[in-house]
Amino acid sequence: MRIDAIHFAKLRNEEHYQFHIEFDKLVENALDKDILTKSHEYIAYYSLLIDEGIALDLLKRSVHSSEIAEADEDRDAVFHAINENVKATLYDFNPHKKQAAGRLEMAISEYFTHANMAFDEETLAINNLLQDININYQNEIAALGLADLIKLLRIKNNYFNSLSNDFVIETSRRTLFRMKEVRQSIDLAYANIIHRVNVMIFVNGIDYFTFFIKQLNLLIKAYRELITERRGSNANVDEVLAEH
């Protein structure tokens, strides 16, 4: 029995915070409190959970921040769809598609050298990637059928850029970036707790943790299904393109 993985980056801010709230309750209710809640890992985690709640509350108070957050999530969703399509095609039985996917993967990795980009840095990376694709990778895009998604990514990135260039919302941008920083920190703290649990299982055996792992996997499954459902609801790219 193992603890399932979850891609936190695909959760929206409120979903992300709610997952960690539910995980915190699970730690308190599914295990003897002394097992984890007095550990250095949990103390750091709980402090960051409070920070995330504060950051989310500040975010909700700013209309501009909400607009930017939604625009950032929209463009990220399109980029992830492109990236996942490329990675999946690396295993395609069609050698032409497989080779095209390999070339596109190299192009993407050239501009996205690390995961935690600031907003302006991500906007620039997407612009440079789109320019490179337009000049050098049209055949690869056609081979993978990604033309509509590429067009949609350009639309979403331009819209985000138009919002972020408004000097009135500079404070909102800092608030939203703070939210991203807190999310990354608490995700790392969560990983540290999971690592501690795995070490304890290795030392003491799994019996004590069986119920905890089952309940945690059910929680993870629920949020993975939420991500999958949203991906399905956003699948009709043609409708979005028709609005522009």
Kindly give, in sequence order, each residue whose CB lies less than 8 Å from that of residue 16, ignoring residues fewer than 6 positions away. Answer: 8, 52, 183
Query: DSSP letter string over 8-59?
Result: GGGS-HHHHHHHHHHHHHHHHHHS-HHHHTTSHHHHHHHHHHHHHHHHHHHH
For residues 35 and 210, is the Cβ–Cβ distance under 8 A? no
Tell me the pLDDT tens digit for each residue of 10-41. 899 999 999 999 999 999 887 766 778 888 99
Q: Of 28, 25, 10, which is closest to residue 72 (Cα–Cα)?
A: 10
Separation between Cα atoms, residue 208 and residue 211, nearest integer Å = 7
Q: Per mean pLDDT, which range of 47-56, 174-183, 215-224 is the poorest?
A: 174-183
Q: How confident is the model at residue 233 (pLDDT cuts 50, 70, 90)?
A: low
**What is the per-residue pLDDT for 167?**
43
Which of 29-38, 126-135, 163-172 is modeled with the greatest confidence? 126-135
Q: pTM of the full predicted structure?
A: 0.58
